[in-house]
Structures are given as C-alpha cells and as structure tokens.
A = this chain, B = another copy of it.
Amino acid sequence: MKRVLLVVAYDGTQYCGWQVQPHQATIEGELNKALESLTGVPTEVIGASRTDSGVHAKCNLAVFDTESPIPGEKFFYAVNKYLPADIRVIASREVPTDFHPRHMETKKTYEYRIQCAAVPDPMRRNYVCFTFRNMDVAAMQEGAAKLIGEHDFASFCSAGSTAETTVRTLYQCDVRTHGDEIIIRVQGSGFLYNMVRIIAGTLMDVGVGLRSPEDVQRMLDAADRSAAGPTAPPQGLTLVNYEIVSTGEIFGK
C-alpha cells in the first residue's frame, strides 16, 4: 500500500464545491470515481481545502491510498483520462503514508478577482466578480493592510464554521490592479468558513466608500460577523498557491 499526493486544478463553475455530497457533482466525488475507474478499486481521496460551490483552484491537494502498481509520479497522467475536462490533476507523487494534507503546516494563497467595467466580459463571467462601480484601490489597500498578522477573524467567518478558534494569521493581503481587474491576494496558514469571500466583500465596501479603511480595524475588534461586509460571490475566488512549510514545496503560481 502506498499513499499518493495529487495536485488538482479545477474550474469550479459546474460543481457543488469540493466535498462529496449525495446526488451532487463535486470535485472530490469526480476524483473518487476516476480513481476507481483507473485502479478498479473504490477509492476515497482526502482533500486539503474544501472549496465552496463555484470556487476554482490552480493547486488543491489530495491524497489517497492504493495498491495500484502505477508509480506515484505517473498517476496524474493516468487519472486525467478518467476526469472531465474541467478537472485536471497537474502533478502527483508518492508520499509517506502518514502524510495528511490537513494535518501539516501549510501556507495557502487565494486570489479574488473583481472586474470593474461598464459591462461584464462574457469570457470571464465565471472567474471574476463583476462591478460597474468605481473602486478606490488605495482605500482598499489601506483596509487590506489592517488584516495582515494574527487576529481574531470572528467577524470574517460565516455561521456553520466548526473551527475551534477564530484566530488566524494572514501573511499577505494585497490589492493590485491588472487591466480592468482588481485582484485581492491573501496568504494565510488557514482560513475560516467564507473568510476570503468576506474579506473581498468588505474591501469592495471600502472601495465604493460604504466603509472606511479604519472601519476594518473596528470590524476585527467587534468579533461579530454582522460587523463586517457581505460575502462576495464565489466565482471570483481561486486557490492559487499551496506551500508545505516543512519541505518548502510550493504548488501553483
């Protein structure tokens, strides 16, 4: 028996998120089916990040155990033949059997993309959050800076979270422009339920002037979901980078 690590990219548009759910298409469910088709044995992957419905990934991680003779580094190629085109395994390798993607120190990076224009671009409709409103990027940058570091992010966590603590550390929270897009890039050791989307919704409120950059500090202090801004829609969000701290390995861009 060996454990194999998969690096998985997907367009989340057509899926009810990562996690297996009855009667719903999910990323995890498609991976399980594809691995069973490939190996002939029912297989269950363990995922690193349980992304929401409509959220994308360049590099989510998953492991599974198998008796298959296929070498670990060949699995990505073999399993892709059984996956739909909107899910691709971009790399694979054998890992120690105690390697667990949720029980190790990692740095995850998400990007949230906002298209600012008069009319939405049809080719990006599933990958950005559209707004026709003018955004004050400098104010968004000022607000974002207040989120960097260790804080109680209770205001930035949707109901339904099962986390033991709402304290998290953000290593990076940058706002930049690229063409007609504003891109919010957030790196942290871990994220609460909907945390990045609430950060994005809050910074968009700051961008249009509904909130000030100083309000962001007050939101942290309140430790109450109702203090922060709305949860931005899922399609703007992509998991873009995964770093395994112990080995220094980096996946994604």
Contact = CB atoms under 8 A, between A and B. Distances in A.
Contact of A120 (B88, B91, B121, B238): B88
A87 interface: yes
A163 interface: no
Among A85, A119, A121, chain B packs the most CB atoms within 10 A around the CB of: A119
Contact of A119 (B86, B89, B119, B123): B89
The quantity of this chain's copies bound in the complex is: 2
B88 A10 contact: no
A122 interface: yes
Interface residues of A, number: 23
Contacts of A88: 119-122
B127 A85 contact: no
A150 B87 CA distance: 44
Nearest to A8: B122
A205 interface: no
A9 B122 contact: yes
A133 interface: no
Contacts of A58: 121, 123
Those 9 A-B pairs whose CB atoms lie nearest each other, nearest first: A11-B122, A90-B119, A86-B122, A11-B123, A88-B119, A88-B122, A10-B122, A85-B125, A9-B122
